[in-house]
Amino acid sequence: MTKNTPPPSAPHASVEEIEADIAATRDRLAESVDALTHKVNVKAQAERKVGRSKERAKISVGEATDKAKVTVSDATGKAQQLVGQAKSASRPLQVAIVSLPVTVIVLLIVKAVRGRRS
């Protein structure tokens, strides 16, 4: 705070010079008070931090949304490709794909029924 202070007024300074010195001192003091007020204003600092956090969150959400859209698009394309392959597969292969889970379920039911009898 003392780095910009002018030398003290000379004892033979005029009234105008003294008043100008007082006005300059008031201005410097007001600037110092404003700077200190800004530093200790916790509410304003918290609001700025919240604002910055909101902006970062918006950016992160936007990036995540874009990434999810790409992933969904890729998955949709892959699913369509697999459906196309299944449609073009031979009939015996389609029957085998459908009958395998049915066979497993029937075997589990038979095993459970036999387990109750013994």
Q: Is the pTM of this model over 0.95?
A: no
Domain map (residue ranges) of the chain: 41-117
Residues of the chain scoring pLDDT < 70: 1-11, 89, 118
pLDDT of the residue at 118: 61
Residue 39 · residue 47 · CB < 8 Å: no
Taking the C-alpha atoms of residue 27 and residue 20, their distance in angstroms, rounded to an integer, is 11
pLDDT of the residue at 59: 94
pLDDT of the residue at 1: 45
**Which positions ≥6 away from 4 have C-beta within 8 Å?**
28
pLDDT of the residue at 37: 85
Taking the C-alpha atoms of residue 28 and residue 5, their distance in angstroms, rounded to an integer, is 9
pLDDT of the residue at 3: 57
pLDDT of the residue at 27: 94
pLDDT digits (tens, 9 = 90+) for 90-106: 777 777 888 888 888 88
SS3 sequence of the chain: CCCCCCCCCCCCCCHHHHHHHHHHHHHHHHHHHHHHHHHHCHHHHHHHHHHHHHHHHHHHHHHHHHHHHHHHHHHHHHHHHHHHHHHHCCHHHHHHHHHHHHHHHHHHHHHHHHHHHC
Taking the C-alpha atoms of residue 12 and residue 17, their distance in angstroms, rounded to an integer, is 10
pLDDT of the residue at 80: 86
